[in-house]
Amino acid sequence: MQLSLVNVAYLVASLLFVLSLRGLSTQQTARRGNLLGAVGMLLAVVVTLGALLAPPEVTNAAHATQALAPGSLALLGAAIGVGSVVGAVLAARVAMTSMPELVAILHSFVGAAAALVGIASEVDGVGAGAAPDVAHHVEIHAGVFIGAVTFTGSVIAFLKLRGTIGSKPLVLPARHVLNAGMTVACIALAVLAFREGGAARVQYLLISAGVASALGAHLVMAIGGGDMPVVVSLLNSYSGWAASAAGFMLGNDLLIVTGALVGSSGAILSFIMCKAMNRSIWNVVFAGFGEGGGAQPAADKNAGPARKVNETNVDGAAELLLAAKSVIVVPGYGMAVAQAQHAVKEITSLLGARGTKVRYAIHPVAGRLPGHMNVLLAEANVSYEIVKEMEEINEEFGETDVVVVIGANDIVNPSALDDASSPIYGMPVLEVWKSSKVIMLKRGMAAGYAGVDNPLCYLDNTLMLFGDAKSSVQKLLASLGSRAEQQAA
């Protein structure tokens, strides 16, 4: 079969997407990967619009799209223009701390688009009086189901990440039976729609979309804050499969391929993150992390008289760092919120210039988004050579003089290894307590995002430096600079 210009362009765009994913796999090539993905998407949009305007004999497409009416073309152009402006403004203005929320809400757009495409396709079919085709009928109901689950699930994830909804999981009685019942109901509605035909097809589809929307909201409401990075990654996978389903409904090969790439890569990333947390995807989705077990939660066990913490000040922390030969920095979401990464980079550069061995330790689920800390450090021009993943740096803590924990809590919690009653028990963590000294920067003694108390704060070798992370880091930088100059004089 002769290839059309559209087919060739779609093939090139698909290759660019594959190269983009490959580039995004490492920090060194991430910028190039992002650029390749943008070029591929631009090519896809331009070629698709061209196919709508050009006569079929020019595109020679086997599934040539019907030409748009002038009014429809103007409406489409306006929609693309508004969307481009909104996207550009958001990308330019969004802070790195808000990136997880932005990603979550963008996933909801993909889910909503897939659901609306399915509903529109069904309405068109009923309006044309066409008899339901089995394959197309399955495509529509599957696309609407995945899209609706993705839409509401992503909205709930956005609200949780934003803090509008609490991070504590909503655990309803017999929730697994409820989830299974809603899934079976959607399947039953699809069967009824096919058997009855006519206008009832649209009615059943709308009811199914409503049930799927409730299912998506309930699934994410039952997931606690500690698992939100995995949930965002999983919703990314859902959005990919929703886009692929929309591609089947529209007969668009590129949308099918692109959706499959996003869906599979999101699933792989979710699997990798779950492995890093010593949990399964099923456990993340259905376990209601954060609800605790039969034993008393760690926070309750520690209730009563306040336990003693060892507090330090900026000058004391500066003295420790200047005397250290080996320093590891552990960044967390608190550093992202305070936008302290640039000042932290200056501190490590100052120490490195003095001959101190400095590294950064990154936990797979640090922050609220996969790779969140890596992006922040790259933004501050931290060398990739000193940014280490958990597996390669955990064994170095025992030989480290000082570890500086900046706004991290759950990823350095020893309860994950030695407290079977803790909700995070079994999750691999950065074993910072093995170092000679730990300087922990926190606003106060509140628990982390997962709502779990951290015994690290009360250990004899832990010094607490309270205050806003950016202010504390800037004061620490000033003190280090002043003391270094005095020593040099």
Q: Is 410 an annotated catalytic residue?
A: yes
| Banded model confidence at residue 71, pLDDT cuts 50, 70, 90 | low
| Banded model confidence at residue 68, pLDDT cuts 50, 70, 90 | low
* pTM of the complete model: 0.75
The per-residue pLDDT for 417 is 87
The per-residue pLDDT for 489 is 63
Average pLDDT rounded to a whole number, residues 474-488: 84
Distance CA(108)–CA(106), nearest Å, equals 5
Q: What does the CA dihedral 136, 140, 143, 145 come to, rounded to 10 degrees?
A: -130
Decide if pLDDT at 201 tops 50: yes
Average pLDDT rounded to a whole number, residues 226-238: 82
Average pLDDT rounded to a whole number, residues 100-106: 85
Residue 368: what residue type?
Answer: R
Decide if pLDDT at 182 tops 90: yes
The per-residue pLDDT for 141 is 92
Average pLDDT rounded to a whole number, residues 448-453: 67
The per-residue pLDDT for 59 is 47
> What is the set of domains in the chain, with CATH numbers?
1-90 (no CATH), 94-290 (no CATH), 306-488 (3.40.50.1220)
Decide if pLDDT at 208 tops 90: yes
Average pLDDT rounded to a whole number, residues 165-178: 83
**Collapsed DSSP state (helix, strand, coil) of residue 315:** helix
Rg (CA), the chain: 26
What is the rounded average pLDDT for all residues in the chain?
83
Which of 60-74, 218-232, 306-320, 430-444 has the weakest average pLDDT?
60-74
Strand partners, 440: 405, 464
Decide if pLDDT at 37 tops 50: yes
**Collapsed DSSP state (helix, strand, coil) of residue 167:** coil
The per-residue pLDDT for 67 is 54
Decide if pLDDT at 414 tops 60: yes
| Banded model confidence at residue 45, pLDDT cuts 50, 70, 90 | confident
Q: Which residue has the tokens 């929320």?
A: 101
Distance CA(231)–CA(223), nearest Å, equals 8
Q: What Cα–Cα distance (Å) separates residue 87 from each residue in 73, 84, 99, 106?
A: 21, 5, 13, 10
Do the Cβ atoms of 201 and 144 come closer than 8 Å?
Answer: no
Decide if pLDDT at 347 tops 80: yes
Residues 6 or more apart whose CB falls under 8 angstroms from that of 437 comprise 320, 324, 401, 402, 403, 461, 462, 463
Q: What is the 3-state secondary structure (H, E, C) of 69-107?
A: CHHHHHHHHHHHHHHHHHHHHHHHHCCHHHHHHHHHHHH
The per-residue pLDDT for 304 is 44
Which of 55-64, 327-336, 365-374 has the weakest average pLDDT?
55-64
The per-residue pLDDT for 62 is 42
Decide if pLDDT at 436 tops 90: yes
Active-site residue identified among 227, 253, 410, 419: 410
Average pLDDT rounded to a whole number, residues 419-431: 82
Residue 469: what residue type?
Answer: A
Average pLDDT rounded to a whole number, residues 85-103: 80
